[in-house]
Amino acid sequence: MTTSPLPGEFEFSDDDLTLFGCVERVSDPGELITAIPALLGFHPSNSVVALSLMGISASTLGPVMRHDYFPSVRGKPARQMSAALRQFASVCDREGARAVVLVVITDYSAAETLIDETIELAEVFEDMLGGTCVELADVLCTAAIESGQPWTSVTRSIHRGTLPDPASSSVAAAQVLGGRVIRRSREELVRWVHGAARNHEVIAELIASGRESGAYGGGVDGDDPVQDRVDLVLKHIRRVEGGDHPDPQECADLVVALMDVHVRDVVLGLAITSVAAAAEQLWLALTHEVPCPERAWPATLLGFFAYVRGDGPLAGVALSVALSADSEHTLAGLLDLSLQSGVHPDGIRDLAAVGLSIGESLGIAGLPPALPSGS
């Protein structure tokens, strides 16, 4: 089993957003803090978040990282916090960040205690950045990201303010217009990925029946089984795009099709094509409906597709679901390790390109072409 160095606590996201287009707005701590829910896709609580700033003027947002917050122990940062800060520093350095802002969000401690603990974290983090070219631009703390909540900056001199409404932030508006849902908590995101199982027993029997047949046909019986299985997947992606989700028999057929390693390889390539969003909806539907351990495959695909487009929080939750379904799932384990290590989505995108190349080498027809990088 492949395990993460920071299992279930560290999340990495990279949407390559420009922060409002000017340096002056980046220096407004309240605006920056209220952008965090839109950047992560959920309102974090009891968390420490690092926002890396890129470019000569440090006005472009790079990787955004989140870790569960652990209170200090005997006046020193908890072991988990030291590990998280080390990870933040490593990712910022590797990605070529110009600066980084650290934000502590927790209601664990009284206000003055929180400020003291944040100062301790700032000192430790600044020491860790000492061997890099990354500047610690600011260190902020607040009890919650809510309108009217007080925030405090502890860098160099203490100064304070109150948060504006997170829903009115420019980043939130851009993300919502782009179709991204901002959830009330990470727990809500977890519930959304897990879904409500309705047909696990029925689908388990149908999958077993498909396996016993020995054909692994996934509801197809043509002369080219790999082509037929890929066609089956593409058909259901188009149907999901039109609002139609697979019934129990179709879920079982799709899972049996995904048992073919060639089909799985080719399907990874869809993450960089025009059908990626619809495919992601199909993987989500299958993650809800398919029982363990087969659930691991659609959950892994959901995590992979989310990772490729830079949605680290969703990728992390989906990969956790996959590993819960099958702790020995090789691809899920490798992707989870990459995510926890802060590997950039571009590195994962290369795997999708390999998937399309495999499809081409197998002579698979009907695959959509890869979109230009950044589309």
Enclosing H/E stretch for 268: helix 261-268
pLDDT of 179 higher than 70: no
The residue with greater pLDDT, 291 or 169, is: 291
DSSP one-letter string for 169-184: SHHHHHHHHTT---BS
Q: Give residue 72's pLDDT.
A: 86
Q: How far apart are CA 169 and CA 332, in angstroms?
A: 34
- Judge whether residue 138 has pLDDT over 70: yes
For residues 375 and 373, what is the distance between their CA atoms, to the nearest angstrom? 6
Q: Could you state, in order of their start, the residue ranges of all structural domains in the chain? A: 10-184, 191-361
For residue 13, name the pLDDT band (cuts at 50, 70, 90).
low
DSSP 297: H
**Alpha helices (runs of H) in 27-169, residue ranges in sequence order:** 29-40, 79-95, 111-129
Q: If you average pLDDT over residues 133-142, what whole number do you get?
A: 94
From first CA to last CA, the distance across the chain in angstroms is: 34
The whole-model pTM stands at 0.84
Mean pLDDT (the chain) is 86
Q: Of 62-76, 154-168, 242-256, 361-375, give the lowest mean pLDDT range.
A: 154-168
Q: Tell me how far apart the alpha carbons of residues 122 and 103 are, in angstroms, rounded to a whole number.
A: 10
Each residue's pLDDT tens digit, 21-58: 333 344 588 888 998 998 888 999 999 999 999 888 77
pLDDT of residue 374: 64
pLDDT at 217 over 60: no
Percent of the chain with pLDDT over 90: 61
Confidence of residue 136 (pLDDT cuts 50, 70, 90): very high
* pLDDT at residue 142, rounded to an integer: 95
Mean pLDDT, rounded, for 186-200: 88
Query: Containing H/E element for 10?
Result: strand 10-13
Q: Is the pLDDT of residue 182 over 90?
A: no
Q: How many CA atoms lie within 13 A of 273 on its CB side?
A: 22
In terms of pLDDT, which residue wins out, 243 or 108? 243
Confidence band, pLDDT 50/70/90 cuts, at residue 11: low
Cα(270)–Cα(230) distance, integer angstroms: 11
Tens-digit pLDDT profile for residues 294-338: 999 999 999 999 999 989 899 999 999 999 999 999 999 999 999
pLDDT of residue 209: 86
Q: What is the pLDDT of residue 199?
A: 83
Does 8 have pLDDT greater than 60?
no
DSSP 167: G
Whether the per-residue pLDDT at 16 is higher than 90: the answer is no
The pLDDT value given to residue 173: 61
Does residue 208 have a pLDDT over 90? no
Checking if the pLDDT of 366 tops 80, the result is yes
Please, which pLDDT band fits residue 89 given cuts at 50, 70 and 90?
Answer: very high
Identify whether 293 is preceded by a cis peptide bond (ω within 30 of 0).
yes
At 25 the pLDDT is 43
Helix (H, G, I), strand (E, B) or coil at 152: strand
